[in-house]
Structure formats: structure tokens, C-alpha cells
Amino acid sequence: MVSGFAKRLLLFVAIVLLCLLALEFASRLLFPQYSETVSYDDRYLYKYLPHAERVFVNPLESDGKHHLLKVNSFGFRDEEFSAEKKGKVRIIVYGDSFIAGDFFDLNATFAKELESVLNKANKDVGRAGVEVLNGGVTGYGPDQVSLRMEDEIGLFNPDAVIVSIFVGNDFGDNIRDKIYRLDASGNAVLNNYFLSPSMKAKKAIYQRSHLIRVLLALSDTLRWSSASSMELSYSQNLAKNREECTDFVVNMSNVVTNLFADTFDVDISVEPESPCVEYKMNLMAGIIRRMKEVADAKGVHLLLLVIPSKYEVEEPDFSEAVASLNASLNLNNAGYDRESRYLFLDNVARASNISYVDLFPIFLERSRAEQLFWENGGHWNVAGQSLAVQLVKEELMLSNLSWLS
């Protein structure tokens, strides 16, 4: 016979479970943007889940509109496509959130806008149709893109590959991800990297419940928004740059502990002669050369798209940030070199005979007259993306490719 206490305990447990179920249901309904779209991966560190869907909601970078992020069976944020080209010219665009374009509907992303303008150009002269695949994954660095090129060029047989490099944090991504190290000859070689067991454990919990994902995401948002001033943010970024570089370059750690909390690469612009920055730059160069070798081996045209940071092209944001940084680090006004990363990438591309589009000069000029980034976010807006598409189209045409008008 069940005692009165046991009955009350069972009733309490039942009520708690019902409340949790109700909260789980409510979280899915109210916060669809926290649906799971990525899984951890031993090779890429993480990747999009095939057939995953979530709603992107960011009033800062999408005018408050909701956009559906839908992943196809190949793990691309794209419509379903066949591995075989079927008579069309095929281009794959790889990169991070600028290319994935969570803040746009799929048909308005960089890849699809480029597809539209190239098809118009080819149609006008009776050339073959062009298919541009969106290979962007939010948070990806050039190192992860390099691995995907190795694995996917043979499978999808593209005529060209476009790789975007965001100068704001992609140099640091290569350090944080620990996928490659430099050998004695300065070549990027695969490293013995692995994900932190604690990260894997957290991910296992994260995947079990939508409610848990919402609570953890809100907690992370509050933690990262605690640095409210530009001075504190830039100073913290520099400290984090040094910490990450020391961990990987000096301490030789191969444990990956950070995948999504990217920091701005302030160190490259304020202490370019430090050993860590030198390693960071050379590692980027080695990864780009590796991409070129992969593309050349398959007869694929490679184009680099260098995307600038909003805070280095927009005034008065840049002046305010530099003045604050100078004050906090006791630098003079010439202490921040905003062109060094772009010049470095240009030189690497030229030395390896890689087609490239450096958006920095024209974005710097145009930003004086029009807004090319979301006002309260760090990504390009519709005007900025359209300008990038036009410049990439022009560079492709100048490359004298037989399949393009």
C-alpha cells in the first residue's frame, strides 16, 4: 500500500515533469533560432547537420525579419543538388557567416546573387548556365575550408572555387582551430588536433534539449556582452590574441577549446613583429598555398575574396576604436596599421598566382558615402554584398575563363 508521503512525492515529480515538458515545448515555439544545426566532427571540428533547419532571428542584421537556414543532404546551406554537374558551369563559394548568410534568405545570399549575375552575363551571349553553390558555414576559418576543398572538389567537380577570408578573425581561427602547424620549411601540415572532452560533454547535454540550448545561449550572450566599451573590447581582444597564440605556438597545445567565440585580430595591427604574429601570418600563407595546390591538382580555378572588417573601413568607428586602443596601450596614433593584413594577403595571392579580390580599398572609399555593413552588426548589408558580387564577377571575367562570358 502506497503511503500518503509517497503519493505526494509522485504527484510532485509528475508536476515537475509536466512543467519541464511545457517549458521545452514553449522554448521550441518561442525561440526557433536555437534549433540544432551543427554537430562536432573529428576532421572539421564541426559541420552543418544534413537536413537540419532553424530560423535565424537577429534584429541587428536582418531588419527584424526571420530567415530560414535549411541544410541539404550534402551539408550545404543550399537547395538539393546532384554531385554531377549535368552540363552547367559549377562554382563553389566557401567561407564563414558572410557566405553562409544567415541574415539573408537563401536566394539573397552571396552565392545566389553571384549565380544570378553570372547567368545573366552568360545568357546574353548564349553560354552555358552557371550554378553557384553556397559552401559557407558560420564560424569557419580558412583551415576548415582547406579540408573541405580536399574532400569535396573531387566529389562535386567545380570549375572554380571562391574562398572568402575575413581579415577580422580568420588569422586567429587558424590558431584557435589548431588543424595545421608549420613544418621546418614553412608549409602548413596537418596537426594532431582534437576537441576538448569537456566541449564534447557540453555538446551532448546541449543536443538533448531545446530548452537547455536556449538557457546556455542566453547565458553566453550575457557573458560576452559584459564588455560594453570599445576600449575594453579591444584591450580584451589583444589579451586573448596573446593567450591563444601562446597556447598553440609556445605551449604546443593541440586541444581545441574554442570554436565560436572569435576574437578580433588586434595583435597583427599593433605588434606585427612579435613571434606569435609572425607565426600566425605564415600559417595563413601556408594554408592558402595548400588550397592552391589542391585546386591546381584538379584543374580548378581558385579565387580569394578578402573581406574587410567594418571597424577598419567605417568612420568614425575606426578613429574612435584606435583612439581608445592607443590610450589603453600607450600607443601613438601610428601604432595601429589597418592595411598590413590586406597587403599581406595580396602579396601571398600574387606570389602563388591566385586570382583575388581585395574589398578593402573600395569599401574604404565607398563607406564615406554609403553604408556597406549593418548599422549595429559586423556583416555586410545588401549594398555591401552586392558590391562584392560585382567585383568578383569582374575579376572572374578578367581571368579569361573559357566557360564565362
Nearest to 131 by CA among 115, 152, 146: 115
As a whole-number percent, the residues of the chain with pLDDT over 70 amount to 78
Give residue 153's pLDDT band: very low, low, confident or very high (50, 70, 90): very high
What is the rounded distance in angstroms from the CA atom of residue 113 to the CA atom of residue 132? 9
Please report the pLDDT score of residue 209 as a whole number.
Answer: 67
What is the rounded distance in angstroms from the CA atom of residue 163 to the CA atom of residue 100? 12
What is the rounded distance in angstroms from the CA atom of residue 317 to the CA atom of residue 233? 13
Give per-residue pLDDT as tens, 44-67. 999 999 998 887 776 666 666 777
Give per-residue pLDDT as tens, 303-333. 999 999 988 887 665 666 666 666 666 655 4
Give per-residue pLDDT as tens, 106-139. 999 999 999 999 998 877 555 668 999 999 999 9
Give residue 14's pLDDT band: very low, low, confident or very high (50, 70, 90): confident
Please report the pLDDT score of residue 40 as a whole number.
Answer: 92
Please report the pLDDT score of residue 353 as a whole number.
Answer: 95
The DSSP symbol for 380 reads: B
pLDDT: is 87 or 143 the higher one? 143
Q: Is the pLDDT assigned to residue 151 strictly greater than 50?
A: yes
Query: What residue spans define the domains of the chain?
Result: 38-398
Which of 35-39, 228-232, 368-372 is predicted most confidently?
368-372
Give per-residue pLDDT as tens, 181-236. 999 999 999 999 999 998 888 776 766 666 666 666 665 555 444 443 334 467 77
Please report the pLDDT score of residue 112 as a whole number.
Answer: 97
What is the rounded distance in angstroms from the CA atom of residue 306 to the CA atom of residue 388? 10
DSSP string spanning 166-224? ETTTHHHHHHHH--EEE-TTS-EEE---EE-HHHHHHHHHHHH-HHHHHHHHHHHHHHH
Mean pLDDT of 333-352: 84
The DSSP symbol for 264 reads: -
pLDDT: is 327 or 91 the higher one? 91
Please report the pLDDT score of residue 138 as a whole number.
Answer: 92
pLDDT: is 99 or 6 the higher one? 99
For domain 38-398, give the fold. Answer: Rossmann fold (3.40.50)
Give per-residue pLDDT as tens, 261-296. 888 888 888 888 889 999 999 999 999 999 999 999
Mean pLDDT of 379-403: 89
pLDDT averaged over every residue in the chain:
84
Mean pLDDT of 149-169: 96
Give per-residue pLDDT as tens, 238-252. 888 999 999 999 999
pTM tops 0.75, yes or no: yes
Please report the pLDDT score of residue 67 as a whole number.
Answer: 76
Gyration radius of the chain over CA positions: 23
As a whole-number percent, the residues of the chain with pLDDT over 90 amount to 53
The DSSP symbol for 81 reads: -
